[in-house]
Amino acid sequence: MKRTIFALTGLILGGFSVSNAHDAATAMADAANDFLSSLSDEQKAQASYDVKDGERVNWHFIPKPFEGEGKRGGLTLKDMRQDQQHLAYALLSSGLSHKGFTKALQVMSLEQVLFEMENADKRNPAMYYVSIFGKPGSDGWGWRVEGHHISMNFTIADGKVVSGTPSFYASNPAKVPEGPRKGLRVLAEEEDVARKLVQSLSDEQKAKTIVEEKAPRDILTSAESVAKSLGDAGLPYGKLTDEQKKTLHELIDVYVHRLRPDLAAADLKKIEEKGHDKIVFAWAGGINKGDPHYYRVQGPSFVLEYANTQNGANHVHAVWRDFEGDFGRDILKEHYATGHGAE
């Protein structure tokens, strides 16, 4: 029987999904504790929260104020010594793949590009915040690295990583227009693979896929703490050709494999169990390079969204949400209800 790319991916990575989820939890706890041990009491107070604190789900991807009302929680790289910054990067790398970690650092580096383009103080590649929720290595805890155009959120329960979402990356500019980094496209795959898919569709398929002639200004799930289904509009998986299905799997892999391989394998397994025949691909806006555009891929358990409409369609937002698992909400709720998280 001919196997799908999904099935092959599951076979290749599936062996990581159980045992290595615990290895990931250990790696994260070690990295978080190394980071915390390097901090002063004042820094530790800034970086640390109770795992039940509302700040854990108060995520966003905009450049929030440096101080005062509306300030993002956590300890900034700006307020760390260089050795502490390295330990913060080590924590970030504990949750990401090599490609995902590289993309995250490139996104952060674009703040310097924006500073030079705009001469705006709010653009600062050191204004990224690290937050630890609960005690690393305990039965229930989590961590976040977040700032303009980056939000990485991880939750650990009973010695296992149970969530790596919301996972948000963005790129402004999507393509650096000038200077020594001219031509850099940090999120090139997210755009190119999706365009390859939509341009491969027949007229009949496009009529079903393109749900709006004009793209929305931004991702529709925004920064809501709970992601909800965006409906079933679009082209169902079953209406794709075999080659188009392969491209769709490639697109999903671009998002899933921003996380470390064992966590990516767990996400792919969940998608497979829910049924890839229930996945829908939707597009809005133009399909040619330079056109403002939006797309999403949605299944029963997840949605990935992409929007490139701002700044003359040179400003990308791309997110992966889990309807059931964002912030490990349901698992932690069950965890505490059974008394496992009692003090």
Q: Which of 72, 25, 78 is nearest to 49 (CA)?
A: 72
| pLDDT band with cut points at 50, 70 and 90 for residue 149 | very high
Average pLDDT over residues 12-27: 61
pLDDT reported for residue 14? 39
Q: Are residue 118 and residue 86 in the same domain, yes or no?
A: yes
Residue with tokens 């790129």: 171
Q: Are residue 169 and residue 201 in the same domain, yes or no?
A: no
Contact present, 111 and 123 (Cβ < 8 Å): yes
Q: Are residue 244 and residue 315 in the same domain, yes or no?
A: yes
Q: Could you tell me the two tokens for 24? A: 């990931």
Q: Are residue 264 and residue 212 in the same domain, yes or no?
A: yes
Beta-bridge mates of residue 167: 152, 320
> Max Cα separation, the chain?
62
pLDDT reported for residue 67? 67
Q: Are residue 165 and residue 217 in the same domain, yes or no?
A: no
Average pLDDT over residues 212-216: 98
pLDDT reported for residue 52? 94
Q: Are residue 259 and residue 151 in the same domain, yes or no?
A: no
Q: Are residue 250 and residue 320 in the same domain, yes or no?
A: yes
**Where among 173, 206, 227 does a domain terminate?**
173
| pLDDT band with cut points at 50, 70 and 90 for residue 335 | low
Cα 288 to Cα 171, 189, 196, 291, distances in angstroms: 19, 15, 10, 6
Q: Are residue 307 and residue 238 in the same domain, yes or no?
A: yes
Residue 338, burial from CB neighbour count under 10 angstroms (0-12, 13-18, 19+): exposed
Average pLDDT over residues 17-24: 62
Give the H or E element holding residue 32.
helix 19-37
Whether residue 216 lies inside any domain: the answer is yes
**Taking 80 as the threshold, does the pLDDT of residue 322 lie above it?**
yes
pLDDT reported for residue 211? 98
Average pLDDT over residues 7-19: 38
| pLDDT band with cut points at 50, 70 and 90 for residue 76 | very high
| pLDDT band with cut points at 50, 70 and 90 for residue 120 | confident
**Taking 60 as the threshold, does the pLDDT of residue 256 lie above it?**
yes
pLDDT reported for residue 7? 38
Compute the Cα dihedral for 225, 265, 51, 30 and give only its sign.
Answer: negative
Best-predicted range by mean pLDDT (9-13, 131-135, 321-325)? 131-135
Whether residue 1 lies inside any domain: the answer is no
User: Structural domain of residue 236, as residue ranges?
Assistant: 186-328
Q: Are residue 21 and residue 165 in the same domain, yes or no?
A: yes
Residue with tokens 């949750």: 95
The model's pLDDT over 267-305, given as tens digits with 9 standing for 90+, comes to 999 999 999 999 999 999 999 999 999 999 999 999 999
Which DSSP state fits 326? G
Average pLDDT over residues 191-200: 98
CB atoms within 10 A of CB 217: 12
Q: Higher confidence at residue 6 or residue 292? A: 292
Q: Are residue 197 and residue 81 in the same domain, yes or no?
A: no
- d(CA 240, CA 260) in angstroms, rounded, equals 29
Q: Are residue 155 and residue 243 in the same domain, yes or no?
A: no
Angle of CA points 267, 268, 273, to nearest 5°: 100
Question: How many domains are there within the chain?
Answer: 2
Q: Are residue 77 and residue 218 in the same domain, yes or no?
A: no
